[in-house]
Amino acid sequence: PLDVVTIGESMALLVADSTAALAEEQHFSKRLAGAETNVAIGLARLGLRVGWISRLGADSFGRFVQRTVAGEGVDCSRVVIDPTRSTGFMLKARSRSGEDPQVEYYRKGSAASAMQVAQLDETYLLSARHLHMTGIFAALSPATLGYCEHSMQLARSAGRGLSFDPNLRPSLWASQQHMRASINRLARSARWVLPGIAEGRLLTGLASPEEIAAYYLHQGAEAVVLKLGADGAYFRTLDGQAGYSAGCPVPQVVDTVGAGDGFAAGLISARLEGLAWPLALQRANWVGAQAIQVLGDMEGLPYRHQLPATHM
């Protein structure tokens, strides 16, 4: 039996070796990218049993992604190889002083973007206690939007845990309006909604963490956790709990990408272990802080033995 299943696209990531613009850069290092596998790997490193559902091309990037994710102890038995399509990849610049780096995607028509809901192994999905989804998978194609919606409704109606990170990627959507409407519709079936504060503002048109949380609770969520970057996080639940959790000071921000996924891994693991919301937010902030001190998107994610006793 699994604790958590995630569904989504992972890619080879080529990170620039210097701070040159992507068009000028000559040397790149190969890493793994993909919000859902970042979360899966973060959870596996913390000792949870995790499965990842996806499709990859029959190519070198696909073999690299599969080997890396499986090597982290994530179950890849439901990762299918599609010989007719490619594995996606992306370029990432090296950020100069902690601001979000420039990224470029090469994932249109990828193997994962063509995933069809008819291929979903529902028994496998429901063998886990919890499903984690993000808005990136929904953005890939009309088929994956439907796949995302169906999986979320299935998990929720079967009484499984269900977290949803909007993870807005405007460049993957046909329009901002379509993105907003689709993500807000998906958020309605989630139990926990986990937006960044800027994402929450864009999606709801509201300003404060309190108002944004109230909006999603009103729409059917049981808990809303807003990520406030260096300022930590805010949570509010349907049963009336709420509070802020301070951010973890970081000596040097190397690359902000992956912070939200580390946060999700910390939060989900803590809640599945029975920790109260305030403690779960503390762990989430701490794990997110580890992710931004390295260049890759997931290399900084901590193992269980590295968790400070205060976050257990």
Instruction: Name the minimum Å distance from CB 166 to Mg ion.
Output: 8
Strand order of the sheet with strand 11-16?
28-33, 11-16, 89-92, 103-106
Q: Which stretch binds ligand CKP (CB under 6 A): 79-87, 214-222, 242-250, 257-265?
A: 257-265
Instruction: Name the minimum Å distance from CB 188 to ligand CKP.
Output: 21
Instruction: Name the minimum Å distance from CB 255 to ligand CKP.
Output: 9
* Binds ligand CKP by CB under 6 A, chosen from 16, 52, 261, 269: 261
| Dihedral, CA of residue 261, residue 263, residue 264 and residue 266, to nearest 10 | 130
Strand order of the sheet with strand 223-227?
79-82, 50-57, 2-7, 128-134, 161-165, 192-193, 223-227, 233-237, 242-245
Which residue, 87 or 167, is less far from Mg ion as judged by CB?
167
- Of 22, 176, 18, give the one whose Cα is nearest residue 104: 22
Angle at 277 between CA 286 and CA 48, to 5 degrees: 65
- Record the tokens describing residue 186, joined without a space: 């998906």
* Binds ligand CKP by CB under 6 A, chosen from 260, 266, 300, 302: 260
Instruction: Name the minimum Å distance from CB 297 to ligand CKP.
Output: 4
- Record the tokens describing residue 23, joined without a space: 């068009």
Instruction: Name the minimum Å distance from CB 12 to ligand CKP.
Output: 10
Identify what 34 binds: ligand CKP, Mg ion, none; CB under 5 to 8 Å per kind: ligand CKP
Q: Which residue has the tokens 């982290």?
A: 72
Identify what 113 binds: Mg ion, ligand CKP, none; CB under 5 to 8 Å per kind: none
* Binds ligand CKP by CB under 6 A, chosen from 34, 101, 161, 232: 34
The residue annotated as part of the active site, out of 3, 75, 165, 261, is 261
Contact 131, 162 (CB under 8 A): yes
Identify what 257 binds: ligand CKP, Mg ion, none; CB under 5 to 8 Å per kind: ligand CKP
Q: Does 51 bind ligand CKP (CB under 6 A)?
A: no
Q: Does 266 bind ligand CKP (CB under 6 A)?
A: no
Q: Which stretch binds ligand CKP (CB under 6 A): 60-68, 204-212, 229-237, 259-267?
A: 259-267
Binding mask 281-300 for ligand CKP (x = CB under 6 A): ----------------x---
Q: Does 76 bind ligand CKP (CB under 6 A)?
A: no
Question: Active site includes 261?
Answer: yes
Q: What is the 3-state secondary structure (H, E, C) of 210-261?
A: HHHHHHHHHCCCCEEEEECHHHCEEEEECCCCEEEECCCCCCCCCCCCCHHH
Q: Does 169 bind ligand CKP (CB under 6 A)?
A: yes
Any residues with CB less than 8 A from the CB of 114 and at least 6 apart, and which? Answer: 55, 82, 85, 141, 143
Q: By CB neighbour count within 10 A (0-12 exposed, 13-18 middle, 19+ buried), where does 255 fall?
A: buried
Q: Does 225 bind ligand CKP (CB under 6 A)?
A: no
Instruction: Name the minimum Å distance from CB 308 to Mg ion.
Output: 24
Query: C-alpha distances in angstroms, 17 versus 21, 30, 67, 96, 194?
Result: 11, 10, 23, 12, 32
The site for ligand CKP (CB under 6 A) is made up of: 11, 33-35, 38, 90, 136, 167, 169, 257-261, 297
- The residues that are catalytic are 261
